[in-house]
């Protein structure tokens, strides 16, 4: 398989790696770059565990994204949201509301939440549930995930008020 | 109410920070120097076949391939992925007849996805490419998808050890006429004023834990077999691997990685035998085996589906005078938990109501599905779907309120639980029923929806359940725990109990803090390491807090006793005169006489001989508490669930409006976790009732092995969900706790089914209750 060199900015850091034309972003993040915080749940775009952010706020499924097509783009992963050991408000909200059980869906859920709140800073319950579709959680029944998203909206609002 | 320092508080769980950043390490996240990749080659095109020819020669020459392995290259005993063989004494085991009918690679394919051979290569990709070059010739065999087919006299035998393909029935040596129960059912049934009876179908539901199975195994240069796995039973896997590969346990290490959900999917062994067999073939090199989601689906275990017949006799006053039942399940291709589920399905039945007499037959037959194993509830969901609908039918015949009937006839304190002879120590089911009914507006809604016309119909239904807190006395119950006090008066709690995401380690840490009298943050739970952890039977039967928690409590009390004994020596008093606050131990009434826990611990470790006096500088020895805990009780939880649905009678479409789940949890150690477990359980229970089933075509090939085709309730499908924790501390559980892990899945099933009955006046006896089945039932009924 032909390989090409691409440059990705992941969590603010510029990284260069050789990728095959058929390699997914998920594979490149996990295998080439050792960033295992993005999870493989299905590999076919059906569970959302692999969600990352493109250009800071747009959730994408990294298992369906060809790495080569991401050359020069900015990617954020769950580990990159936290800064200097300080959780991002969305992450803090999941902690506060017990929106985490086994944690396997969590990085994807957090990424998805950032995307929801970027579009709808003050979402209704329905908007939250609708926004979360595509991200599967088998542990929580979504109850505490929905309250985490609500709490995240509050924390984000507090943060922008403070800024 | 006892004032606790951490028990009952929903403090942030100990693992949330690493999970929310994604840095928690699941098995697939691990990488090791020199690591190779193992690929299991599975039979995808047949559900039943014999391998006539296996040619690995081309695959072996593919670039990057290190080794290819067929069935004859494996030096290992056959095995059973289940664990029941470890949990009963040998004579009982003989009667139950659990068998080891699995091999690493097979020449007789018994289900789609059965493992044929393995490839070890330098990369996942190289292994996959080589896998495509494996040449296999099959002789297709007849495919059996129901017990009724595989039990035919001319059917191909799955194993010579189980004639007639009957994997299990309740053994006659233990249960006369192969039935569990009491009283004379035939007489009572004949004398009953009326009976309700039907044959139901319960579906093959998949756990769908979000983390696919993944392993690393290494046979190291020191001759030790190491395995990194997300098993929920590390110590069972430890001994099973040792036996399988003829190694002493001291030459096998099982390291448990963070578990991405279990729900039974990781009960016992799954892919460990395959990963280890591959590692044994390349000593010194770690081999990583990753299951794709599709593999996880077609090759790993699920819930037991099957036909479930039940007949209940009632007297005019509503007394359930007799219950008679037969659950005949479809085992799938291998034995696994064959004896377990077939048995417990009847236990939950027997434990629920004050049946005048009871007879339950449980049996299971081999079929060409992926094997059925453990899934949350372990037979209880199946029983709930059947029993609760029949009870509902009877209530409507009797003209009594279903809540009132249940209050009158459910078992409670002092009655025999799911195991005859073992009584319920506590039961708050009445309170669950009352609070649940109030929350959903039971009385008003039952009346309001009684005589509906029009296209859309609403209904409310109720269901109750009992479960278990551990497997005592039926199966082995045992957890060991060591509580070691560090020299700075913090503590290391070592035990093999698993946290599958249910929050067990946080709750165990709370129990340790409370029992020691230390702060929560002074405690560290060290689990998941078979070398340093003592025995624990593993996470099953909702036992981790009830039994594991009791083991932690007992080990910590042991350590605390020694701490106080030393304090008494230092302060020259008796232990009864001492109290501890903020880890300072005081002589009561003399606040100037005190010693810190830290000083006692430090002087025990840094213990010198004073040069001048020749005396020791304090009481020597590191304090370590220990418990090898074997419970003598079981305190099952109860629950009442209420559901409201709306059905479009023209399309059959069902909308879940509300679910109220009221649980008798004893005492919630970490309430947010308990709620979370029950909420997640409810999602799975409603899925069982309405949408979830693995479907196969007539050749036994899976039709819905993906999250798109296998429908689980998503965030927008979930109804308004209310979880009520009814706290009525149990006299025997640690700090009053009963179990909450599995329970949440059970009662929503019957509640949803009964809400459908209330809405339509028709019962749907095959789960899942899909729109098509609703429409068909309406048609058959001549409308509603
Ligand atoms: S792994 Fe990408 S959606 Fe499931
Ligand atoms: S927390 Fe386990 S899948 Fe969501």
Same domain assignment for residues A31 and A99: no
Q: For residue B656, count other CB atoms closer than 10 A to its CB.
A: 21
Q: List the beta strands (DSSP E) in B700-784.
A: 720-727
Asked if residue A162 has pLDDT above 90, the reply is: no
**pLDDT tens digits for B362-410?**
999 999 999 999 999 999 999 999 999 999 999 999 999 999 999 999 9
Cβ of A4 under 8 Å from any chain B Cβ? no
* Beta-carbon pairs below 8 A across chains A and B: 178
Same domain assignment for residues A125 and A147: yes
Relative to the alpha carbon of B16, which ligand is closest?
A: 2
Cβ of B721 under 8 Å from any chain A Cβ? yes
Cβ of B706 under 8 Å from any chain A Cβ? yes
A136 vs B672: CB contact, 8 Å cut-off?
Answer: no
- What ipTM was assigned to the predicted interfaces of this complex? 0.98
Asked if residue B744 has pLDDT above 70, the reply is: yes
**pLDDT tens digits for A48-72?**
999 999 999 999 999 999 999 999 9
Same domain assignment for residues B758 and B691: yes
Mean pLDDT of B144-165: 97
State the residue range of the domain holding B581. 478-629
Residues of B in contact with A44 (CB under 8 A): 293, 706, 708
A94 vs B261: CB contact, 8 Å cut-off?
Answer: no
Residue ranges in chain A assigned as alpha helix (H)? 25-27, 78-81, 89-96, 106-119, 125-132, 143-162
Q: For residue A2, count other CB atoms closer than 10 A to its CB.
A: 8
Number of H helices, E strands in chain A: 6, 5
Q: Give the CATH number of the domain where residue A9 resides.
A: 3.10.20.30
The pLDDT of residue B656 is 98
Which of these three, A25, A50, A80, is where a domain ends?
A80
Mutating which of A32, A93, A103, A155 best tests the B interface, going by the most B Cβ atoms within 10 A? Answer: A103
Same domain assignment for residues B577 and B673: no
Mean model confidence pLDDT for chain A: 97
Cβ of A84 under 8 Å from any chain B Cβ? no
If pLDDT is split at 50, 70 and 90, which confidence band does A1 have? Answer: low
Compare CB distances from B21 to A47, A82, A130 and report the shortest one's residue: A82
Which of these three, B629, B649, B683, is where a domain ends?
B629
> CB burial class (10 A; 0-12, 13-18, 19+) of residue B221?
exposed
Same domain assignment for residues A65 and A133: no
> CB burial class (10 A; 0-12, 13-18, 19+) of residue B447?
exposed
Domain contains B355: no
State the residue range of the domain holding A130. 89-162
Nearest CA to B740 out of B752, B751, B727, B731 is that of B727
If pLDDT is split at 50, 70 and 90, which confidence band does B177 have? Answer: very high
Cβ of A62 under 8 Å from any chain B Cβ? no
The DSSP code for B170 is: -
Asked if residue B1 has pLDDT above 60, the reply is: no
Q: Give the CATH number of the domain where residue A111 resides.
A: 1.10.150.120
Compare CB distances from B210 to A79, A105, A132 and report the shortest one's residue: A105
**pLDDT tens digits for B653-689?**
999 999 999 999 999 999 999 999 999 999 999 999 9
If pLDDT is split at 50, 70 and 90, which confidence band does B589 have? Answer: confident
Mutation test of ligand 2: which of A107, A139, A144, A148 has the most ligand atoms closer than 8 Å to its C-beta? Answer: A139
CA-angle at B124, arms to B31 and B235, nearest 5° = 50
Residues of B in contact with A143 (CB under 8 A): 675-676, 679, 718, 721, 723
Same domain assignment for residues B453 and B549: no
Which of these three, B596, B612, B629, is where a domain ends?
B629
B258 vs A132: CB contact, 8 Å cut-off?
Answer: no
Domain contains B541: yes
B681 vs A141: CB contact, 8 Å cut-off?
Answer: yes
Same domain assignment for residues B85 and B135: yes
Residues with CB under 6 A from ligand 1: A 40-43, 45-50, 61, 63
Could you give the CA distance from residue B417 to residue B397 in angstroms, rounded to a whole number?
28
Relative to the alpha carbon of B679, which ligand is closest?
A: 2
What residue of A is the nearest CA neighbor of B297?
A42
A136 vs B718: CB contact, 8 Å cut-off?
Answer: no
Which of these three, A61, A80, A99, is where a domain ends?
A80
If pLDDT is split at 50, 70 and 90, which confidence band does A85 have? Answer: confident
Same domain assignment for residues B714 and B665: yes
Whether residue A139 has its Cβ less than 6 Å from ligand 2: yes
The tokens describing B108, both together, are 């007789």
Asked if residue B2 has pLDDT above 80, the reply is: no
Cβ of A11 under 8 Å from any chain B Cβ? no
pTM of the model as a whole: 0.97
Residues 6+ away with beta carbon under 8 Å from B515? B552, B553, B556, B557, B560
């Amino acid at each position: 398989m032909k390989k090409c060199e691409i440059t990705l900015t992941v969590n603010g850091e510029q990284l260069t790696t050789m990728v095959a034309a058929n390699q997914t972003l998920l594979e490149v993040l996990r295998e080439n770059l050792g960033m295992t915080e993005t999870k493989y749940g299905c590999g076919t775009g059906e569970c959302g565990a692999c969600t990352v952010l493109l250009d800071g706020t747009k959730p994408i499924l990294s298992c369906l994204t060809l790495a080569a097509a991401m050359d020069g783009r900015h990617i954020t992963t769950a580990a990159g949201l936290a800064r200097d050991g300080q959780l991002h408000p969305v992450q803090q909200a999941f902690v506060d509301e017990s929106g985490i059980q086994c944690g396997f869906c969590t990085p994807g859920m957090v990424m998805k939440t950032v995307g929801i709140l970027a579009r709808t800073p003050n979402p209704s319950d329905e908007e939250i549930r609708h926004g979360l579709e595509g991200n599967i959680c088998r542990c929580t029944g979504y109850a505490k995930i929905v309250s985490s998203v609500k709490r995240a909206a509050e924390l984000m609002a507090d943060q922008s008020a403070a800024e | 109410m006892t004032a606790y320092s951490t028990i009952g508080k929903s403090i942030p769980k100990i693992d949330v920070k690493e999970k929310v950043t994604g840095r928690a390490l699941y098995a697939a996240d691990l990488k090791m120097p020199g690591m190779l990749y193992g690929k299991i080659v599975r039979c995808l095109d047949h559900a039943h076949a014999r391998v006539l020819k296996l040619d690995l020669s081309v695959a072996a020459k593919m670039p990057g391939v290190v080794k290819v392995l067929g069935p004859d290259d494996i030096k290992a005993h056959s095995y059973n992925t289940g664990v029941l063989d470890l949990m009963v004494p040998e004579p009982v085991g003989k009667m139950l007849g659990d068998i080891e009918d699995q091999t690493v690679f097979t020449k007789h394919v018994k289900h789609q996805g059965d493992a044929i051979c393995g490839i070890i290569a330098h990369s996942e990709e190289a292994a996959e490419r080589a896998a495509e070059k494996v040449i296999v010739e099959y002789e297709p065999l007849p495919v059996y998808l129901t017990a009724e087919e595989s039990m035919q006299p001319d059917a191909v035998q799955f194993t010579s050890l189980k004639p007639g393909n009957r994997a299990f029935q309740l053994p006659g040596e233990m249960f006369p006429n192969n039935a569990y129960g009491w009283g004379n059912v035939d007489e009572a049934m004949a004398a009953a004023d009326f009976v309700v009876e039907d044959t139901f179908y319960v579906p093959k539901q998949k756990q769908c834990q979000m983390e696919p199975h993944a392993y690393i195994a290494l046979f190291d240069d020191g001759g030790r077999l190491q395995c990194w796995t997300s098993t929920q039973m590390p110590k069972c896997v430890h001994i099973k691997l040792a036996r399988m590969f003829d190694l002493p346990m001291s030459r096998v290490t099982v390291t448990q990685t963070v578990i991405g959900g279990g729900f039974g999917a990781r009960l016992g062994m799954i892919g460990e035998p395959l990963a280890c067999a591959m590692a044994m073939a390349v000593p010194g090199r770690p081999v990583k085996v990753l299951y794709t989601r599709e593999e996880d689906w077609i090759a790993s275990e699920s819930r037991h589906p099957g036909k479930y017949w039940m007949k209940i006799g009632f007297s005019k006053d509503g007394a359930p005078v007799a219950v008679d039942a037969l659950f005949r399940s479809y085992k799938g291709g291998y034995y696994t938990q064959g004896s377990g589920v077939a048995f417990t399905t009847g236990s939950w039945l027997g434990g629920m109501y004050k049946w005048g007499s009871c007879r339950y037959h449980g049996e299971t037959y081999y079929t060409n599905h992926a094997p059925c194993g453990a899934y949350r509830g372990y037979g209880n969901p199946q029983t709930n779907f059947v029993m609760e609908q029949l009870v509902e039918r009877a209530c409507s015949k009797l003209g009594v309120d279903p809540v009132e009937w249940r209050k009158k006839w459910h078992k409670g304190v002092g009655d025999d639980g799911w195991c005859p002879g073992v009584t319920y120590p506590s039961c708050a089911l009445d309170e669950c029923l009352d609070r649940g009914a109030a929350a959903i507006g039971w009385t008003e809604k039952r009346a309001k929806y009684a005589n509906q016309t029009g296209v859309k119909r609403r209904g409310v239904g109720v269901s109750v359940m009992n479960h278990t807190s551990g497997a005592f006395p039926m199966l082995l119950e045992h957890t060991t725990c060591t509580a070691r006090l560090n020299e700075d008066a913090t503590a290391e709690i070592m035990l093999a109990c698993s946290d599958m995401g249910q929050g067990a380690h946080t709750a165990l840490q709370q129990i340790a803090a409370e029992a020691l009298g230390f702060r929560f943050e002074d405690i560290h739970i060290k689990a998941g390491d078979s070398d340093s952890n003592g025995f624990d039977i593993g996470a099953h039967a909702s036992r981790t807090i009830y039994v594991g928690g009791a083991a932690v409590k007992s080990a910590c009390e042991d350590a605390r006793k020694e701490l106080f004994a030393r304090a008494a020596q230092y302060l020259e008093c008796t232990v009864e005169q001492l109290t501890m606050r903020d880890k300072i131990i005081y002589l009561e009434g003399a606040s100037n006489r005190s010693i810190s826990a830290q000083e006692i611990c430090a002087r025990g470790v840094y213990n010198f001989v004073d040069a001048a006096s020749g005396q020791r500088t304090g009481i020597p020895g590191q304090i370590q508490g220990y418990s090898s805990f074997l419970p003598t009780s079981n305190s099952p939880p109860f629950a009442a669930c209420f559901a409201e649905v709306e059905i479009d009678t023209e399309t059959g479409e069902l909308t879940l409006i509300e679910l109220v789940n009221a649980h008798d949890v004893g005492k919630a150690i970490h309430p947010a976790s308990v709620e979370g477990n029950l909420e997640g359980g409810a999602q799975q229970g409603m899925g069982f009732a309405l949408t979830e089933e693995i479907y196969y075509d007539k050749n036994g090939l899976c039709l819905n092995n993906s999250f798109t085709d296998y429908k689980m309730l998503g965030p927008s499908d979930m109804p308004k969900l209310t979880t009520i924790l009814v706290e009525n501390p149990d006299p025997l559980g640690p700090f009053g706790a009963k179990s909450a892990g599995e329970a949440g899945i059970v009662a929503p099933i019957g509640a949803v089914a009964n809400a459908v009955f209330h809405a339509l006046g028709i019962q749907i006896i095959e789960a899942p209750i899909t729109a098509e089945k609703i429409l068909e039932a309406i048609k058959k009924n001549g409308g509603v």
